[in-house]
Structure 1
C-alpha cells in the first residue's frame, strides 16, 4: 500500500463524494464540512496524484477523461471499506450509542431509563450528551434526537414530537395567575439561548408587543427550569423539558394555551446505515414514553 500512503485519505473521500454526488455542495453535506474544505481537498489530491480529475465549468464539476475511469474504482474501494466497518459494528448490537442534548438527557431521558431496561434488558445504552451537530457516521452514533427544523445535512430525520411552548412556574405563583395578562406582573426566567421568545406565546393570547420583566437570564434551559421550580419566576418551557416536573407536581401550568414554535424533536440516523433491531426498539420505546407522558400531562 505504498502508493496509497502518498495520498491523504480525506482527500480521496472528498474526490469520491464530489464525483459520485456531482457537486461540491452535496459532497460537503455528506462529509459534514464546508464547500471550501471539499474544494481544497480535491485540489490537494489532484496535486498528490499528478492528475486533473475534474474540469471546473459553469455547470459545476465535470470529470476529466482520467477522472471518469478513476472515480468508479475509488467508489468501489470506499464501498468495501464501508462494508468492512459495518461488519465490525455488527459484532455487538446489544450496545446502542445515542446522541441527545444535555437538557433532553437530564430532564426527560434519565428519569425513564429504568423503563427501558425493564423492557429491553439485553440492550445497553451509551449516551453522548452534546449540543454539537456531530457527524453520526464518524462519531459511531446509532441514533440521535435533535430539536430544530429537521433539515440537517448528512442525516435521515424522522419526526418525533412537534415542540409546543407554554408558561410554567411553581404552584404558589400559579395560584396568582388567573388571566393571561397576570403573567406580565411576574418576573420571567429567561433562557438566553432559546430559539424563540416570549412574544411567540404573548401574541397567541392577545398580548403582542407587551414586555416581560426579566429577573434572571441563564444560558442553559435546565438551569432556567430549576429557577422556576425554586419560585424565581415564570419560564416559557416545552413538553420534554418540563413534563416530568409537572407530573411530579413541582411545576404548574397556569394557562391551557400552548403554541407551536415551528420546531420539533426528530430522530436522526446515518442515511447510509441500515436500521438495526436495536435502533428500532429504542425508537419505538421513546415514542411510547412520549405518548404516555403527553397523556399524563393532558396534552394528547
Structure 2
C-alpha cells in the first residue's frame, strides 16, 4: 500500500487533470467553480507532494512535461474508477439500474419488451446508454451491458439472449435478375459494418464458397446500413430481428436464400467481482424468462 503522505489531494488531482485537458488555469477554474489562484495553489501542492515538475508555462498556456503527461494518464484512470464507485454507490441507495446497450439490438429487440419489465418492476429506474464495443464495467459505472459475440467478456458473467441470424437483403428492383447462385452476389455492391468486416466472408463460407473477403461500402451502425440498402445502395447482410418489418412491408427483399446463423450471439454481461444488486437481479431474472430455453448462463 502506498503511504498516504505521498498522495496528492483529490482537489489537486482534479485541478491537474482539468488544466492538462483545457490548457489554462482560468479554464480549469471555470470548470471546477474555483478561482485561478486556487487552481495555481492546487497545482503547486501536487508538484510539491510528488517532487516533480509536471507543468511548464508556454506563452499563455500550461503544457505538461513528459513526467506530467504520464502521471495525468494514470491519474485519469484512478479518477474514472472513483467516479464509477460513486455512481454505483448512488445507484445502490435506490432502485437504479444502469445498462449499456448496442443501438440496433436495444431499439429493435430490447425496447419493445421493456414495458413488460417496467410493469413488473416499477421500482427500478432504468438508465440506458449506447456502447458499441466492450469496456471496463467497473470503471464506467454500469451494472450490466448487452454484448455481441462470444462469452469472452473479461471477468464477467454471461447470459445468452439470442443467437443472431443474418440475411442478405436489398431494395426491390436492385437486382436486375435474381441470382442463380450465391456467388452472383459478389458482382454487386456490398454493404458492411466496419466492426464486423468478416461477416460477408463467413456468410459465403456457409454457402460453400470459402476464402472470400469482399470489399464494400462501410458503415458504423446497422441502422445507417439498413437505410442505405432500402435506398438501393447495395446488398446488406443484416440481422433478421432488425429487418422483420422491412421484409413484411416490402421495403427490403432477400437477395439470396434463408437466414443463416452468424458468428456470434447477444449476451447480457455483468461484473463477477461485485455482488449483483437487487435491480440487476430483477432485470437478469426477467430477461432470462423472456429468452426462455435459448438463454444460457456462462461463468
TM-score (norm 2): 0.58
Aligned equivalents of 1:156, 1:268: Cα separation in 2: 5
* Matched residue, 1:105: 106
Query: Does structure 1 retain, via aligned residues, the 8 Å contact 2:199–2:262?
Result: no
Is 2:93 aligned against 1:91?
Answer: yes
Aligned equivalents of 2:174, 2:196: Cα separation in 1: 23
Query: Does structure 1 retain, via aligned residues, the 8 Å contact 2:201–2:214?
Result: no
* Matched residue, 2:261: 259
List per-residue Cα deviations over 1:66-112 (Å, max 9, x = no partner).
xxxxxxxxxxxxxxxxx99976543212x211012333334433444
Aligned equivalents of 2:173, 2:112: Cα separation in 1: 25
Structure 1 pair 233/129, CA: closer, same or farther in 2 (3 Å)?
same
List per-residue Cα deviations over 1:202-232 (Å, max 9, x = no partner).
1222233567674x33233321112122232
Unaligned runs of 5+ in 1: 11-47, 49-82, 293-300
Query: Does structure 2 retain, via aligned residues, the 8 Å contact 1:185–1:213?
Result: no
Q: Which moved more, 1:167-176 or 1:190-199?
A: 167-176
Query: Does structure 2 retain, via aligned residues, the 8 Å contact 1:192–1:217?
Result: yes
List per-residue Cα deviations over 1:48-70 (Å, max 9, x = no partner).
9xxxxxxxxxxxxxxxxxxxxxx
* Matched residue, 1:282: 283
* Matched residue, 2:206: 204
Unaligned runs of 5+ in 2: 11-49, 51-84, 294-299
* Matched residue, 2:46: none
3-state SS of paired residue (1:207):
coil
List per-residue Cα deviations over 1:248-267 (Å, max 9, x = no partner).
65434441250331x32221
1:5-24 equivalences under 5 Å are 5-7=5-7
3-state SS of paired residue (2:99):
strand
Query: Does structure 1 retain, via aligned residues, the 8 Å contact 2:100–2:131?
Result: yes
Query: Does structure 2 retain, via aligned residues, the 8 Å contact 1:168–1:236?
Result: yes
- Note the C-alpha offset of 1:8: 6.8
* Matched residue, 2:147: 146
Structure 1 pair 130/120, CA: closer, same or farther in 2 (3 Å)?
same
Structure 1 pair 100/259, CA: closer, same or farther in 2 (3 Å)?
same
Aligned equivalents of 1:249, 1:289: Cα separation in 2: 29
List per-residue Cα deviations over 1:142-163 (Å, max 9, x = no partner).
1111112322223223333333
- Note the C-alpha offset of 1:291: 6.5
TM-score (norm 1): 0.57
Query: Does structure 2 retain, via aligned residues, the 8 Å contact 1:99–1:130?
Result: yes
Structure 1 pair 291/170, CA: closer, same or farther in 2 (3 Å)?
farther
- Note the C-alpha offset of 1:129: 0.7
3-state SS of paired residue (1:203):
helix
3-state SS of paired residue (1:193):
helix
Structure 1 pair 246/9, CA: closer, same or farther in 2 (3 Å)?
farther
Structure 1 pair 205/85, CA: closer, same or farther in 2 (3 Å)?
closer
Structure 1 pair 274/257, CA: closer, same or farther in 2 (3 Å)?
same
RMSD: 4.0
